[in-house]
Every structure is written in C-alpha cells, then in structure tokens.
Structure 1
Amino acid sequence: MEYKIVVLGGGGVGKSALTIQFIMKKFVSEYDPTIEDQYRMQTTIDDKTCYLDILDTAGQEEFSAMQDQYILSGDGFLLVYAVDSKPSFDEIRKLRDRILTVKEKDKVPIVICANKRDLSMNYHHVSSQEGRDMAKSFGCPLLETSAKERFNVVEAFHTLVREIRKEKEPIEKPKKRCIFF
C-alpha cells in the first residue's frame, strides 16, 4: 500500500523538523522556510510494509494558493501547531475546515501534532487541554511531539497511517456461509 501524507501548519511550527526527524532521524535546528519538499520511504507499520509519500508544505501565507492542490492529492493530514504559538493553534481549525471543503467530505484522516513540547512550560501558550479539546471536537488523535527530542515523531506518522487505513480498509465482515440441504 501507498499512503500520501500531507504535513500542514503555520510557518515555523516545525513541520520540516518533524518530517526530517521521521525520515532521516536527525534534528535540523536551522529554519529555512519550505516551499515544498517531497519524501518517499518504505516502512513497516503494524506488520504491514507500505510506502509513505510525504509532502512537507509551506506554512507562509504567500504559498496558501498551493494548498488546495496538496489537499486534493492527500490521503491523510498531519496538522502541526507549536505549543508556543496561539496563532498557529488557531490556524489548525481553518486548515481542517479547508481540507473538508476541498475534499468535499465530512471526515478525513487527520492527526494533530502539538509540536515543541520540549520547550519550558513558561513558553507554552497553548495548554494540553486546549489541544485535547480541539482533537476531540474533530474526532481525531492528538499527539504532543518534539522534533528536537524525537518524542512521538514516529508515532505521529504511524498513527496517521492507521487513521488512513481505517478509512481505506474497512474492517472485513466475516463471510456468510451458505449451507445447502
């Protein structure tokens, strides 16, 4: 199976840091705004081998026109905000609404990442409870992540694949057996 994952969020929230940490197992501390980076990797999730096609998108407003194309191509979405940025948290709701509008669906596979959890609590402008409440209202998982510490990075991508699988591969019902007399 192949899964197209789109990483969305505001500028500077750590979308690229999470993606690079997942793919290359290293933390990139220099911030060079991304326009669009695409990665492809093979991995095993729940004993099933799969290919992940990951699109790391621009968070800057001037690239928002490209969002609809990203959204149309995606099977699932990693929505990232930074715990030290209330505006990036507020943007998550707008992104989700945009995804639902473009996909013309009521529900799509989404995982929310509350990134930069490694920062001192003095810098947290979004509480864990606010994140949980938003995720609950969306009906999707929330993971607190740290690209710097590699905390929940793999889990975020794997959880998203599981969410996509729930949509793409509904649980098979037992086959009915006919008995003839």
Structure 2
Amino acid sequence: MRDLYIKNGQGFVVVYSITSHHTFQDIKNMKEQILRVKNADRVPVLLVGNKCDLEHQREVTVAEMEALAQVWGCPCMEASAKNRCNVNEMFAEIVREMNVLPP
C-alpha cells in the first residue's frame, strides 16, 4: 500500500522525532524506498524533525539533521505538531521544492 502512495506522490515530507534516534535511522530506509518506487535519482523531499517542543528529550541534534539534508540535497527544518510550530511553513516549503523539481 505504501508503494502505491509513493508512486502517486509528487513531493514527500519525511518526518522523524527529535526525541528518538531510532526514527532518524528509519527515515534513511524510507528515502531509499521513495527513490526506488519513483525510479528516480531525485524527488522533492523535505526532512522534518518533529517534537521540537521537547528539547529536553532531544536525541537527534540539529547538526545531524542538517548533515543528512545535505547528503540528500533537500531542505530541512524542525517542527512541532503539538504547538503548531513550523507546520504551515513545512507545507509551504515542500510546495516550493515540488516547483523546483517537477515530476
């Protein structure tokens, strides 16, 4: 089912929790799956570290996020679904990426 969503998707917001290094490792597999299903070298992707309101529980540093975004060649940001920090900005950014890298 996930492959069908990926195949039909035009842009992808890849989200991990800043409070879980495990989720940060998992997204690396997700990015590979997106590239495989889309049969492409590059697709519009935004890397997002969620739960930035839980700074005291942080396991993934901003530097780690930025390094991965640089490897992927995509923008990145932190957000909080709980307090709506950067939620609108996140969607605006992926739309910008979709305009830069059309399908």
TM-score by length of 1: 0.55
- Who wins on radius of gyration, i.e. which is larger? 1
Question: Unpaired segments of 5 or more residues in structure 1?
Answer: 1-65, 170-181
* 2:24 match: 89
1:167 counterpart = 2:93: no
1 CA distance for matches of 2:24 and 2:41? 21
* 2:61 match: 127
Which one has the bigger helix percentage? 2
Identity %: 40
Any runs of at least 4 consecutive aligned residues in structure 1 with deviations exceeding 2 A, and if so which?
A: none
Shift of 1:92: 1.1
Q: Which has the higher contact order (CA 8 A, sep 6+)?
A: 2
Question: Unpaired segments of 5 or more residues in structure 2?
Answer: none
Which one has the bigger strand percentage? 1
* 1:110 match: 45
Q: Deviations over 1:69-104 (max 9, x none)?
A: 110010000000000111110011111111001101
Instruction: Name the count of aligned residue pairs.
Output: 103
TM-score by length of 2: 0.95
2 CA distance for matches of 1:133 and 1:120? 19
